[in-house]
């Protein structure tokens, strides 16, 4: 069915909303039927996300499953969707957690059942839409749509201080959204488009932003995403929202909504503002490390189980931000993998805490003790999830944290040492919590006859544990699909970083020996030397997609065939092979024979079709 294949993203986005509309027409008295409709729709959506992720080609760069329809003519706003290894993984996470939230709410939600599941399915539409949008306005629309259902889930079905927590959540997030909207509008005034791919392509071809403008735009987007993560010191809304939210709200908040912040840093901050990203990286890394250690220390002294898990999220998301801004492949892949792992593990922890709260109607650690005697099955599930959250090898939490620490070490050893301290502290507060709740003698008689897991609860927890173990034993299917996305981001950041550092630097010596540009052997860099090659005309670089014979790689970047022609609107630098090593709009032209073919690495994110400017085409490798 070609139509379904061409519109998988639209189906994944709007299928939950269609389910919400169906539930809206059902009578409130038919609560059981409402639950079954919500479960069926969420399971169908999960199947669509699995098909989407399984169909993602790991060897194909750029966006896949793209959909493009004009939406508004003036200003030009389009319904533009697409996914790569980064966004498809997070869409899969949203699709996986939503049916679990329906199941965990099966008996715990008894008031306003109809409205609850309408908001839950509408929230899934917003979450998937955020990860699939390639138009900035469309992205912003889904970003805001996602806030409203979560606001009502916390404010109506939350606990004692639910209204305060819901208002605090919406105010913090809307403040960040306002900054991001200003940045989006400024980008439109500069480029004349809201299309993310076209904006990145325009910035790659021509330096349209001054350094100060790029810094301010980076901060506008970054603060919006840092609030959503939340990164220290923007984290104060999170514990209240987690503690007061119903179990399903906490699962989706920790599992998916927080990842929108780290996703935004990878999708927008780094590709759009690479110079500013490199400039602010030490500061962001410092905040991430503070968040890791601070979150662990505060979690250690929490008397409330749910608040302990909430502060553990501050620490774990600090790892994700650290992996992004160490600016290397290991760190970024570890960060993306940790996003998915944290969503599964912390989502499971919130489910487990919610199940215990239903039995005892308290979350205070001092009220428990010896639960392993009365709840042996429950305590086993809790132990596995706890060990995965602290990063035990062979479980999902280990892979991402290990890659992040390795990437941090390659950047600076002290970063790795401090991050490793966060791992040790995580083991302390999680194992100490488990000891106080499950080991020892039963001191409170209310804990002696608690019912163990029901068949439905065993189904939910077994599903999560299988995923935890599978991700820990065999992470390669997930890592392989994110390779091209990470390569593209790194090429964009590192390529501009070379220009930022001066590609004509004598020590870097990337000059074309024997072919120089008349700048006394200093390479071909400095802008103020202009096109000082008095005997050669500027050259254009036209990229020609070639049939893929094998997956060529150069320094970890995909390779595309290029032909050099005479022209006026492109600049190139040459390496020591005759292969071109970098494409920079500010570099001077070089004396290369026209109509000569070279292999060049992808140095732009994302690869988009272009015939004249130095932007890689969608063809990947010879």
pLDDT: which is higher, 620 or 187: 187
Cβ atoms of 601 and 61 closer than 8 Å:
no
Rounded to the nearest 10 degrees, the angle between the axes of helix 376-389 and helix 396-411 is 20
CA distance 30 to 27: 6
Q: Give the residue-averaged pLDDT of 163-171.
A: 90
Nearest in space to 138 (alpha carbons), one of 203, 201, 194: 194
- Burial string for 497-517 (b: 16+ CB within 10 Å, else e) reads bbbeeebbeeeeebbbeeebb
Q: Which residue has the tokens 């130095």?
A: 614
For the cut 80, the answer to whether the pLDDT of residue 601 exceeds it is no
For the cut 70, the answer to whether the pLDDT of residue 174 exceeds it is yes
pLDDT for the residue numbered 448: 85
pLDDT confidence of 35, banded at 50, 70, 90? Answer: very high
Nearest in space to 152 (alpha carbons), one of 249, 254, 50, 52: 249
Cβ atoms of 194 and 147 closer than 8 Å:
no
Cβ atoms of 141 and 70 closer than 8 Å:
no
For the cut 80, the answer to whether the pLDDT of residue 97 exceeds it is yes
User: What is the tens place of the pLDDT at every residue in 15-29?
Assistant: 999 999 999 999 888
Of the listed ranges 228-237, 251-260, 340-349, 610-619, the one predicted with least confidence:
610-619
Q: Give the residue-averaged pLDDT of 46-72.
A: 89
Contacts of 224 (CB under 8 A, 6+ apart): 176, 177, 179, 180, 264
Q: Give the residue-averaged pLDDT of 310-339.
A: 92
175 three-class SS: helix
pLDDT confidence of 504, banded at 50, 70, 90? Answer: very low
pLDDT: which is higher, 284 or 622: 284
pLDDT for the residue numbered 605: 32
pLDDT: which is higher, 133 or 492: 133
CA distance 277 to 282: 9
Nearest in space to 195 (alpha carbons), one of 82, 86, 96, 27: 82
Rounded to the nearest 10 degrees, the angle between the axes of helix 476-501 and helix 329-360 is 130
For the cut 80, the answer to whether the pLDDT of residue 236 exceeds it is yes
pLDDT for the residue numbered 191: 87
User: What is the tens place of the pLDDT at every residue in 414-442?
Assistant: 999 999 999 999 999 999 999 999 998 88
pLDDT confidence of 230, banded at 50, 70, 90? Answer: confident
Delimit the domains of the chain by residue range. Answer: 1-201+233-248, 273-501, 512-622
pLDDT for the residue numbered 488: 87
For the cut 90, the answer to whether the pLDDT of residue 61 exceeds it is no
Mean pLDDT over each residue of the chain, to the nearest integer: 79
329 three-class SS: helix
- pLDDT over 90, % of the chain: 46
Burial of 358: CB neighbours in 10 Å, binned 0-12, 13-18, 19+: middle
Q: Which residue has the tokens 């984290």?
A: 235
Q: Give the residue-averaged pLDDT of 383-411.
A: 91
């Amino acid at each position: 069915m070609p139509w379904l294949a061409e519109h998988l993203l639209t189906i994944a986005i709007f299928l939950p909303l269609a389910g919400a509309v169906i539930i809206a027409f059902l009578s409130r008295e038919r609560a059981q039927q409402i639950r079954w409709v919500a479960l069926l729709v969420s399971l169908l959506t999960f199947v669509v996300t699995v098909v989407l992720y399984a169909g993602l080609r790991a060897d194909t760069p750029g966006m896949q499953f793209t959909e493009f329809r004009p939406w508004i003519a003036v200003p030009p706003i389009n319904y533009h969707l697409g996914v790569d290894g980064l966004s498809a993984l997070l869409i899969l996470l949203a699709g996986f957690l939503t049916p679990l939230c329906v199941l965990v709410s099966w008996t715990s939600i008894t008031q306003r059942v109809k409205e609850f599941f309408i908001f839950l399915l509408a929230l899934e539409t917003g979450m998937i839409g955020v990860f699939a949008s390639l138009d900035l306005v469309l992205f912003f629309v889904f970003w805001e749509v996602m806030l409203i259902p979560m606001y009502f889930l916390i404010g109506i079905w939350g606990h004692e201080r639910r209204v305060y927590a819901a208002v605090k959540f919406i105010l913090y997030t809307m403040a960040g959204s306002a900054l991001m909207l200003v940045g989006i509008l400024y980008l439109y005034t500069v480029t004349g488009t809201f299309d993310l791919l076209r904006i990145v392509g325009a910035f790659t071809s021509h330096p349209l932003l001054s350094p100060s403008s790029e810094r301010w735009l980076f901060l506008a987007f970054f603060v919006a995403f840092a609030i959503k993560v939340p990164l220290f010191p923007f984290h104060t809304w999170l514990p209240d929202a987690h503690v007061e939210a119903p179990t399903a709200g906490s699962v989706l908040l920790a599992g998916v909504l927080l990842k929108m912040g780290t996703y935004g840093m990878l999708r927008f901050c780094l590709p759009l503002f690479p110079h500013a990203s490199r400039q602010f990286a030490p500061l962001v890394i410092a905040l991430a490390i503070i968040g890791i250690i601070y979150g662990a220390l505060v979690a250690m002294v929490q008397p409330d189980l749910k608040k302990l898990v909430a502060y553990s999220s501050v620490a774990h998301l600090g790892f994700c931000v650290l992996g992004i801004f160490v600016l290397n492949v290991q760190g970024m892949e570890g960060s993306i993998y940790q996003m998915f792992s944290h969503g599964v593990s912390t989502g499971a922890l919130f489910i487990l805490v919610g199940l215990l709260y239903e039995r005892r109607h308290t979350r205070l650690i001092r009220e428990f003790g010896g639960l392993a005697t009365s709840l042996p099955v429950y305590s086993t599930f809790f132990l596995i999830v706890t060990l995965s959250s602290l990063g035990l090898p062979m479980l999902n939490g280990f892979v991402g944290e290990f890659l992040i620490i390795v990437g941090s070490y390659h950047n600076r050893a002290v970063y790795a040492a401090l991050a490793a301290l966060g791992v040790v502290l995580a083991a302390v507060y999680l194992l100490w919590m488990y000891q106080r709740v499950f080991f020892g003698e039963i001191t409170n008689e209310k804990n002696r006859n608690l019912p163990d897991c029901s068949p439905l609860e065993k189904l939910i927890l077994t599903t999560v544990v299988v995923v935890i173990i599978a991700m820990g034993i065999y992470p390669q299917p997930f890592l392989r699909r994110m390779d091209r996305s990470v390569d593209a981001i790194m090429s964009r950041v590192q390529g501009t970083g070379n220009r930022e550092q001066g590609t004509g630097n004598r020590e870097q010596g990337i000059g074309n020996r024997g072919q120089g540009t008349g700048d006394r052997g200093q390479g071909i860099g400095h802008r103020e030397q202009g096109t000082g090659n008095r005997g050669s005309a500027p050259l254009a670089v036209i990229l020609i997609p070639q049939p893929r014979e094998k997956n060529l790689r150069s320094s970890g970047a995909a390779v595309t065939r290029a032909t050099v022609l005479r022209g006026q609107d492109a600049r190139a630098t040459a390496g020591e092979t005759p292969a071109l090593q970098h494409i920079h709009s500010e570099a001077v032209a070089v004396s290369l024979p026209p109509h000569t073919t070279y292999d060049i690495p992808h140095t732009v994110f994302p690869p988009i079709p272009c015939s004249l400017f130095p932007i890689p085409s969608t063809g990947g490798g010879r």
